[in-house]
Amino acid sequence: MNIFVNERPVTVEADATVALVATLCKPDADIFLCNGAPVPTTTRLQEGDRLVLIRRGEIPTPEELDVLMAARHTPGVHARLKRATVGIAGCGGLGSTVAVALARVGIGTLILADFDVVEPSNLNRQQFFVDQIGQRKVEALAATLARINPAVRVVPHAVRVVPDNVAALFGPVDVLVEAFDRADQKAMLFETVQREFPDKPLVMGLGMAGWGRNDLLGVRRSGSLSICGDDLAEAGPHAGLMAPRVGVVAHLQANQVMEILLGPDPHIARLEQARR
């Protein structure tokens, strides 16, 4: 039968166990994952299974890394995400966190735009480090993303996003993430997208000040527009922006990008159906 070992096609005898294939392909492996989950070495493999064999602590080659990093992905997802391009407008609390999540899952290309530099008040919620203070955010973030997943192509634009450059910056993206801090910037991006490419999926973040109240955070959709947040808690005096709540909304946005690119998760749909 034919299976995949570290994403390479391999022919093995029918009913071969994980242990047998490991002996043949990677005898020093001590981590065994099949179809996205850890398995015992006694597991009998089936046609088409995707087995990943890892030696704990071993630094893989860049090509191997790309495969091994996706060993906990649902099978098939990584290849589809690799073909996608996502734009992120603004690289602050939302944008930097969305970028980190999407780099970890291996989005093919991330286009980043932000004119600003890293300063200390960013560090309570944004994915930057003390030694990056003073650096342009897009450059600091590109450096961090390269450390997380070198297979992701990152295109940093150290520019202010204005109506005149939205089409040039984000024309090629499959999904655009709105990740600005100010409401007027959010409005500018929405209105420009409506004018330039009204059908392009746009994922906005609205309402994330304060802490707690996880129950109010969610996603609502209206055509090609998705809105993540509580739609309520505006940032301002006595309403701060802090890592946990901003981070939840950023991850709602990143998760929404996944759903737009991949469609609804069929496994979750089956589980939901079975519970009814």
> What is the contact surface with other proteins in residues (CB under 8 A)?
90, 92-95, 179-184, 186-187, 190-191, 194, 198, 205-209, 222-223, 225, 227, 229, 231-236, 241, 246
Of 80 and 200, CB closest to other proteins: 200
Of 4 and 190, CB closest to other proteins: 190
At residue 261, φ and ψ (nearest 5 deg) are -75, -35
The count of other CB atoms within 10 Å of the CB of residue 145 is: 24
Q: How far apart are CA 7 and CA 68, in angstroms?
A: 9
The answer for residues whose C-beta is within 8 angstroms of residue 215's C-beta and 6 or more apart is none
Helical packing angle, 93-104 and 137-148, nearest 10° = 20
Smallest gap from residue 45 Cβ to other proteins (A): 46
Smallest gap from residue 238 Cβ to other proteins (A): 13
Smallest gap from residue 156 Cβ to other proteins (A): 18
Of 45 and 89, CB closest to other proteins: 89
Smallest gap from residue 243 Cβ to other proteins (A): 13
Of 106 and 247, CB closest to other proteins: 247
Smallest gap from residue 258 Cβ to other proteins (A): 20
Decide: 47 and 3 in contact? Cβ < 8 Å. Answer: yes
Smallest gap from residue 135 Cβ to other proteins (A): 20
The count of other CB atoms within 10 Å of the CB of residue 106 is: 20
- Compute and round to an integer the Cα radius of gyration of the chain: 21
Q: How many helices and strands (H and E) does the chain possess? A: 9, 12
Residue in 37, 44, 42, 34 with CA at minimum distance from that of residue 4: 34
- Neighbouring-strand partners of residue 165: none
Of 69 and 138, CB closest to other proteins: 138
Of 148 and 206, CB closest to other proteins: 206
